[in-house]
A and B are shown apart, each in its own frame.
Chain A
Amino acid sequence: MSKVELIKLNKVFESKIGEDVIAVNNFNMNIEHGEIVALLGSSGCGKTTTLRMIAGFETCTDGEIKLDGEKINHLKPSQRNVAMAFEGYALYPPLTVSENISFGLIREKISKSDINKKVDEVINLLEIKDIVDRYPPTISAGQQQRVSLARALVRNSKILLLDEPMSQLEPQLRAVLRARVKDYMQHMKKTVVFVTHDQTEAIALADKIAVMELGDLKQLASPYDISAKPENVFVASFIGEPPMNILKAEYIKKENNVIFKVFNENTSDTFNIKFSDNSIDLSKIKNIINNQIITLGIRPHKIDFTSNSSNIEGNTKIFTSHWLGDQMHVGININNITVIGVAERDFNLKSDSIKINFPSESLNAFDKDTEEVIFNGL
């Protein structure tokens, strides 16, 4: 078994001049056996520091790390039974690619034929078969990264830690290698923690994602929940490509309708999104005061282009469209306010004026000051 518990984990870098840096702030997380967890955030958010604390390369200023119930804070990295792929690859220059990959297995006392079998499997998985006899300095950065990943995957350790394992991958290989690596990790029932700044990578691979920013944990949830039920504006805007449309709106309760009056902060342009009371879940908006200004979000993919009716009150025009093969990105102008939508690849943009809908179940609302979620879907 390999269950990992991070309890109130804290890392402070003291500074002789200026303020101390709180790299990781009171971080709590459980990783179950066989789970793949992503630490996601932009540079400086504390994700790599957290990973290094789990590995034992960084001491914890405060808090505990437990493996299968036992506290391991005091253990050296070599005593913790973890395998790690470093951001800098850290390959052994005098060994060939296949020797690098099989190096860690020598300690594990398994037969030579088993070693070869395991190594062959990851070599084919990561498409590095044609460089197996080459030496690290002679291969490209992307290839070195794959070798480093292969070396870590093949080990039989309790936990697998990966620091930006696929950042240098060619775009064409990303989708298929992510799928194969996820397949491998799931079938080998590996417990994995990986660090990335690429949200598509986190969403693709992880069972659970911890979104971090400046040392704080912004949300810990499944990929689906992170995308559909963000707990704050930061997570909502970080996840998704194209990013979520973030709009400022005034909440207006009028007769039997709920109206969100969207406005542009710099100009006087506005448009309304109107819902009738019986089409939405009124319990979700019970805490919003009439005329309160809130932050609204709607994902481009969720804008409905197929409906015959529209709940938008405003002059709606498509001012640009990009056909991207499997989908269409549409630039929509509603009373001079720009909104991005994603439509089907065969979407027919005959005329300028089209009917679009903002489905109530896809609308997200956040408090304009605290940026915390008010509702995810009505």
Chain B
Amino acid sequence: MSYLQINNLKKSFKDDHVLKDVNISIEKGEFFVVFGPSGSGKTVLLRLISGIMFQDNGNIQMDGKNINQLNPEERDISMAFQNFALYPHMDAFENIASPLRANKSDDETIDKKVKEVSSLLKIEHVLTHMPKELSNGQKQRTSLARSLISKPSVVLLDDPLRNVDAKIRFEMRLELPKILKEFNTTVIYITQDYREAMALGDRIGVLYDGKFNDIEKPRQVYNNPKSLTSAKLFGDPTINNFTTNVQINNGSININIGDEKFIGKNSNQNINGKYIVGIRPEDVQLSNKKSDNSIKVEFRTKTPLNLKIVYLIKFLNGVEMLCSVSENESLSIDENKELFLNIDYSKIHLFDSNNEETIF
């Protein structure tokens, strides 16, 4: 029995149909990540769930009860905004205490709880500061403290780590799951960073074209995306993809690249025709030595990326590919000599050349 049930949610702004048909069942205590490109409607979805915006169609149920008609203050849902939305005329203490003042807790309880939460989030030393005196990292934690303090059933986090610097972002990625477990709450978390989505989510909902396209565990979405669009959203550098003739039969796969062919083992169903082939840069091998099935490629340039090296190469027929290689491996590759490329045949993806849906 899912805790938060969203059915056929629809929202448009004049001609812009942001959300067309959103459906999701979220379990109690789940950390659910809403991931998608900029403009896909993630923030709109969160605003609809929180009640500060109303949907055109569809309904939202919490714990079996329909909450469509309830005002934001009646929904037992809290939200941490991307731009923090702290009250400028109140100090950090009062900002965090606000939900407890709303449910009329007494001063002693408020004092105790604010101190508890702020100590957990390491901001007890700035409780008397006004928002404009806080750093972005402190503002973000204050906003988080405010959304957690009344132990709501559902917490909505709108890209909370977007506006903080890299060092704090990585720290929070490690600490956030721990902190949230203390509050035993169901979390819906928005991010545009696929790494953050994969690091934090129990499940990831991939939102684009106005609906959820994949709803899977992180490893699943990365390894078995439902379409080329989803495949492109995960992975840096982005998955290589090109359209070409592919034949699979008797456990062997032929991929045509101009006049050459990649031939390898693949145990999928028999196939013959034009398809989109997808292969991730980390599943591609480069070498100066030709091996059985490798194809000669032209080296164009290399760009370092987080202690890996990304090679841009071109096949004879003009198809380009990015290959991601470790620092050590790249030391043994001489780009001035002949270069040969091979792929890991067990990691190939095939997509339909018309609707881009995944074949395997």
Contact = CB atoms under 8 A, between A and B. Distances in A.
A361 to B, nearest CB: 13
A340 B198 contact: no
Given A180-B312, A182-B301, A182-B303, A171 B193 contact: yes
Contacts of B170: 242-243, 340
Given A183-B312, A323-B218, A323-B219, A241 B238 contact: no
A171 B233 CA distance: 8
Contacts of B322: 175-176, 179
B324 interface: yes
Contacts of A173: 238
A175 B237 contact: yes
Contacts of B1: none
A178 B232 contact: no
A322 B198 contact: yes
B199 A329 contact: yes
B305 A200 contact: yes
B166 interface: yes
Nearest to A141: B38
Contact of B174 (A200, A205, A338): A338
Contacts of A243: 166-167, 170
A171 to B, nearest CB: 7
B310 to A, nearest CB: 6
Contact of B238 (A176, A182, A186, A320): A176
Contact of A172 (B174, B233, B281): B233
A123 interface: no
B64 interface: no
Interface string A217-261: 000000110010000000001001111000000000000000000
Contacts of B324: 326
B336 interface: no
A129 interface: no
Given A175-B237, A176-B322, A179-B322, A322 B173 contact: yes
Interface string A92-136: 000000000000000000000000000000000000000000000
B177 interface: yes
Contacts of B238: 172-173, 175-176
Contact of B303 (A204, A319, A322): A204
Nearest to B235: A325
B81 interface: no
A369 interface: no
A150 to B, nearest CB: 18
Contact of A301 (B192, B232, B236, B306): B306
B301 A324 contact: no
Contacts, number: 106
Contacts of B303: 175, 178-179, 182, 203-205
A237 B167 contact: yes
A359 interface: no
Contacts of B198: 322-325
A300 B171 CA distance: 13
Contacts of B320: 176, 180
Given A175-B236, A179-B303, A205-B303, A331 B38 contact: no
B174 A179 contact: no
B307 A299 contact: yes
Contacts of A325: 198, 222, 234-235, 280, 282
A224 B193 CA distance: 26
Contact of A170 (B38, B171, B178, B280): B38
Interface residues of A, number: 40
A248 to B, nearest CB: 15
A299 B307 CA distance: 10
Nearest to B327: A301
Contacts of B236: 171, 174-175, 326
B258 interface: no
A171 B192 contact: yes
Interface in B288-346: 300-301, 303-307, 310, 312, 320, 322, 324
Contacts of B192: 171
Contact of B306 (A178, A200, A205): A200
A183 B199 contact: no
A187 to B, nearest CB: 8
A62 B75 CA distance: 62
A76 interface: no
A244 to B, nearest CB: 9
B101 interface: no
B265 interface: no
Contacts of A299: 307
A314 to B, nearest CB: 18
B196 to A, nearest CB: 9
A179 B302 CA distance: 7
A345 interface: yes
A240 B306 CA distance: 6
B251 interface: no
A173 B232 CA distance: 9
B74 to A, nearest CB: 36
Interface string A150-173: 000000000000000000001111
B132 interface: no
Contacts of A175: 236-238, 281, 303, 305, 310, 322
Given A204-B303, A243-B167, A331 B174 contact: yes
Interface string B196-216: 001110000000000000000
Contacts of A186: 301
Nearest to B38: A170
A242 B280 CA distance: 22
Given A172-B238, A323-B198, A183 B167 contact: no
B228 to A, nearest CB: 11
Given A323-B218, A324-B198, 9 more contacts: A171-B236, A176-B312, A227-B304, A237-B167, A319-B174, A322-B195, A322-B200, A324-B199, A329-B173
Please provide the 9 A-B residue pairs with the shortest distance between their CB atoms, ordered closest to farther.
Answer: A175-B237, A322-B199, A179-B312, A204-B303, A183-B301, A326-B282, A301-B307, A325-B222, A331-B174
24 contacts: A172-B37, A172-B233, A179-B300, A179-B301, A182-B312, A183-B300, A200-B306, A204-B304, A227-B304, A227-B307, A240-B306, A299-B307, A320-B174, A322-B173, A322-B195, A322-B200, A323-B218, A324-B195, A325-B198, A326-B235, A329-B195, A331-B174, A338-B171, A340-B174
